[in-house]
Chains A and B, each alone.
Chain A
Amino acid sequence: GEDVEQSLFLSVREGDSSVINCTYTDSSSTYLYWYKQEPGAGLQLLTYIFSNMDMKQDQRLTVLLNKKDKHLSLRIADTQTGDSAIYFCAPNTGGFKTIFGAGTRLFVKA
């Protein structure tokens, strides 16, 4: 079945760049999303990339996609304490099913 794997934890210093990596198994994934979950809240969409793209930049966020290796990454430039949250990589095959994993907990040290 479909699967998403991410490292559980990442710790960075304020001002550094954060890179969160994700591997997925469903090669038919058409859209690949990144969601952010703050404590006690639901998930919110951060950004997404279409499967025919290699890279997408959106202000401090850069998404890289290696479709051959089914690897997705999210880079956050100039990480701030407000970026501390859980980040979920979420592939979607173009239908109604978006798959999540356990997410990566980002800790930003001041």
Chain B
Amino acid sequence: DTAVSQTPKYLVTQMGNDKSIKCEQNLGHDTMYWYKQDSKKFLKIMFSYNNKELIINETVPNRFSPKSPDKAHLNLHINSLELGDSAVYFCASSQVGTDGVGELFFGEGSRLTVL
């Protein structure tokens, strides 16, 4: 029944490794996002896809590559992991209604720790 699900929930890895986080939503939404939350809880948008098309690409190192195989899935691949990549990564989805309101539905987060 989970609306937005991310895997894995926890990821511990060494510097220099490559890792992926997967996200799936069963809400039928057209738009999906990746947000990064740092240790001070600051939440920053990274990417957004609308119907598999990249529409938001914030200033993120190109070691981060999102991929959307279909509108229900948005994965995040990170190459050459660095210590500063340690954070909680949240996937979210939304569907803007006729009233213009586009509530974000968040997954539970994936905590990445780079050693």
Contact = CB atoms under 8 A, between A and B. Distances in A.
Interface of A: 30-31, 33, 35, 37, 40-45, 48, 50, 86, 88, 90, 92, 94, 96-103, 105
Contact of B48 (A30, A31, A96): A96
Q: Interface range on chain B: under 10, 10 to 19, 20 to 34, or 35 or more?
A: 20 to 34
Q: Considering residues B42, B43, B50, which has the most beta carbons from chain A within 10 angstroms of its beta carbon?
A: B43
B59 to A, nearest CB: 10
A42 B107 contact: yes
A42 B100 contact: no
A102 B40 contact: yes
Contacts of B41: 37, 86, 102-103, 105
Given A31-B100, A42-B90, A96-B56, A101 B106 contact: no
Most A C-beta atoms less than 10 A away, residue of B48, B55, B103, B104? B104
B108 A42 contact: yes
A99 B100 CA distance: 16
Classify the interface of chain B: helix, strand, loop or mixed.
strand
B44 interface: yes
A30 B31 CA distance: 19
Contact of B43 (A30, A41, A48, A103): A103
B49 to A, nearest CB: 9
B72 interface: no
A92 B43 contact: no
Interface in B59-104: 90, 92, 94, 96, 100-104
Contacts of B45: 97-100
B94 A96 contact: yes
